[in-house]
Each structure stands twice: as structure tokens, then as C-alpha cells.
Amino acid sequence: MNSSWNYIIRRILYLIPVLLGVCFLIFILFNVVAGDPVYLLLGKHASVEQAAELREQLGLNKPLFMQYLDVVKSAFTFDFGRSWSTKQEISSMMIQGAIPSLTLTIPAFVISTILSVLFAILVAFYRGKGIDLFIRVTCICMMSISVLVYILVFQNYLAYEFGLFEISGYEYGFPDFVPYVILPIIIWVVLTLGPDIRFYRTMILDEIYQDYVRTARAKGLNEKKVMLKHVLRNAMIPIVTYTVVQLPFLLLGSLLLESFFSIPGLGGMTITALNSSDFPVLKAMTILSAIGIAVFTLIQDILYTVVDPRVKLQ
């Protein structure tokens, strides 16, 4: 137990240099590589006086090291300053935008993960048979279609022509938001089923052909018990890895779905920031995603011990 806690504390401490490095890369990208944002905001024909005044307002007249420290401070305090375009506190914008994003991404992610694992178990159980071939071919066909096609076709027919769902918009509060996220959730699930089923199927099949499975069969266990008790348990390690890695991106929302369905989430906020060259918002979203990935990677390692007691945190 002590070794596990030591490992967790050590990994938490490792997050500090990781975040410092990420902040440095973000600083280089936005403050050096991207050029002077003042002329992006004012235009090429801005006067020197106007540029100097705006540069002072934005804090861009500070030494580069001080600007880097501002990025580091924002990562540890979650104080990202104000948006250049809306003048609002970015932290408040992110809190407000996180709610619509999570009402879309969490149900969609849970539904798609459950369905993908169930279908993967089914095709692995009936591997080489007609149902396996049918589902695999269907997955490939689903993956071959662009996300824009799904959005436009579903919006046009299911929402506009048949009136089954809301075309766009969003209302805060449960259950008012439900009608507005049902169709985006369906599209999300359809988009992710193909690659997820193929991935989970591969992981399960890798376990099916291991020696311990042959031993279990030789002891007289039926195929269903072998699949559920032995194969699926050992296949959970790559499944957990694949699942947990995706969790940080749920907070960031879906750029295309939120944009096309006018959902005021973090994905839509990112698109707006890109179009208006709102660098503070873009930096905040990048820092948030980096922190999320680092934290959930630690959670991922801890969960290994839950799904497989043979794994020890050291």
C-alpha cells in the first residue's frame, strides 16, 4: 500500500515539470511562432501609437520571460485573464461553456462505449461467422463516411424533413436541454461505433488466443464463461487505456457538432476564438486539455490495479 501511495505522489509531482514544459511550448506557439497578435487584431494599417497602446493593454510589452510566467501562472491558478474579443473572464466563459459540452459528450461517450464493448464481445464470440463479417463490413462503411455527411443528412432528414429532433439551439437546465442534444448524441454514437468496435474486437481476440484461455477450455469451462470471466477481464487493460485517454477531450466538447447545432459549449467557443484570433481563449483551451491528459493518465495507471490485480503500482 505504501509503495502505491509513493507512486501516486511521485506521479503527481511529475505533473509539475510536465506542465512547465507544456506551458513553454504553448508560449512558443502563441507568442513567438504566431507572430505579433496586435496587428491581427488591429489590421496591417494600424498606427504605431495604436499598436503600442493595445500591446500595453494586452500585456505584450512585458519581457518574454514574464509573459511565459503569466502562462505558467494561468495553468496553476486557472486564471486565464480576459478574452480579447468579448472582454469577459475566460474562466467564467469556460465554466459556462462546459455545461452544454458535458451534456452532449458524457451521454454520447457512455452510450457509444457500452454499445461498442457489447458488439465487440458479440463479434469476438461469433468470430469468423456471418454476424462477425456483417458487423465488420458495416463498421468499415460507417468509418468511410465523412462526419459532415452524417451531420447534414441527419439534420436535413431527421430534424427538418421529419421533425423528430430539434435542428439547432440549446436551453440550460434539465430536462430543457434534452431535445437539443439527442440528435448530436446519435451522430456521435454512429461516428464512434465503427472504430471502437474494431479496436475492442482486436483486443478481445488477442486474449482469446492466449494459453490461459486454452487451459480454461481444457478444464471444461463453457465458451460464455471463458469469454466473460477470463477473456474480457484481461482485455479490460487496453480497453481502460483507450477509454480513459478520451475522457479529457469530453470537456473540450465537439467542435463540429457544437458548431452545426449551435450548442454554446467549449467546442463552439474554440471555433469562435479561432475565427477571431482570440489567443487567450485558445491558450486556455490548450492548457486545459494538457492538464486533463496529464491527470487522466495518472488515473489510468491507478485503474490498472482495479481491472487487473496482477498490476502493481511501484
DSSP H helical ranges for 219-278: 223-225, 232-251, 255-260, 266-275
Most confident of 76-80, 189-193, 203-207, 222-226: 189-193
Q: What confidence tier does 43 reach under pLDDT thresholds 50, 70, 90?
A: low
35 φ/ψ sector (left φ>0, alpha ψ -120 to 50, else beta):
left
273 within 8 A of 288, measured Cβ to Cβ: no
The three grid cell numbers given for residue 118, joined into one nine-digit string: 457489447
Look-up of cell digits 430534424: 159
Contact (CB, 8 A) for 201 and 123: yes
Report the candidate in 248, 246, 245, 252 with the shortest Cα–Cα distance to residue 300. 245
- Rounded to the nearest angstrom, the gap between the alpha carbon of residue 51 and the centroid of all alpha carbons in its chain is 37
pLDDT of residue 188: 93
267 has pLDDT over 80 = yes
State percent of the chain over pLDDT 70.
90
With contact defined as beta carbons under 8 Å apart, do 217 and 137 qualify? no
| Residue in 125, 175, 147, 106 with CA at minimum distance from that of residue 255 | 147
State the CATH class of domain 98-276: mainly alpha
pLDDT of residue 115: 94
> Nearest 5°: CA angle at 57, between 53 and 59?
115
What is the per-residue pLDDT for 86?
Answer: 84
Decide: 258 and 268 in contact? Cβ < 8 Å: yes
Whole-prediction pTM: 0.82
Question: What rounded mean pLDDT belongs to the chain?
Answer: 83
